[in-house]
Amino acid sequence: MSGLVMPAGHGRKLITKAQEITFKVTGADGSVTSCFEVMVPPGFDVGAHIHHHSQEFFYVLEGELELLAFEPTERTEDSWHDWESADGTRAVRAGRGSCMFVPPNTPHAFRNRSDEPAVMLFQSHPAPDHEHYFDEIAEIFSAGHEVDPAAVEKMRERYDVHQITPLRYEPPSAS
């Protein structure tokens, strides 16, 4: 049995309007955990969501992200930005070296509020659920036609992504 060495800058890249995802370690490599390097552009908000079966780990490599991983006292459907837990926990602005672990059934979200791209290492268990999800969502958004929200919702359900607040991408306007 052999391991896998993935040099910097290598891996299969998926580039969408909103993100650049580099597949680093996948189920096809024999791993039970998928590992991705993700560039999060300014203005990107993944929206709060849960996974009933998956667990995730995020590690900020560059830049700054706002991170959330808790059950709020009240879930709102429009935005997670003001959520607070029963013990007063709120979203955290997290810079380089910060991490977030998300067990199954935990609402979580991230967004880039800064003017600079952020880069994170993202791990998801079990493989290959998020690998297939990223491939399919990239295909949907790059098709060049109107995106059917019902089709996206069905796809998310297949991959254990249960959206609570909307995914948003509002790049800063160029001045």
Cis peptide preceding 172, ω within 30 of 0: no
- pLDDT on residue 169: 86
| Residue 153 forms part of a structural domain | yes
pLDDT 10s digits, 89-130: 999 999 999 999 999 999 999 999 999 999 999 999 999 999
The dihedral formed by the CA atoms of 133, 37, 67 and 173, expressed in degrees to the nearest 10: -90
pLDDT 10s digits, 58-91: 999 999 999 999 999 999 999 999 999 999 999 9
Whether pTM > 0.85 for this model: the answer is yes
Provide the residue range defining the domain that includes 120.
12-169
Q: How many Å apart are CA 109 and CA 163, to the nearest integer? A: 10
| Residue 151 forms part of a structural domain | yes
| Residue 103 forms part of a structural domain | yes
Query: What is the tally of structural domains in the chain?
Result: 1
| Residue 81 forms part of a structural domain | yes
Q: How many Å apart are CA 157 and CA 96, to the nearest integer? A: 32
| Residue 6 forms part of a structural domain | no
The pLDDT > 70 percentage for the chain reads 95
| Residue 136 forms part of a structural domain | yes
Catalogue the E-assigned strands of 63-143: 64-69, 92-95, 99-102, 108-111, 118-125
- pLDDT on residue 44: 92
| Residue 124 forms part of a structural domain | yes
| Residue 105 forms part of a structural domain | yes
Q: Domain with 55 in it: what CATH number?
A: 2.60.120.10
Using the predicted structure, report yes or no on whether residue 32 has a pLDDT greater than 70: yes
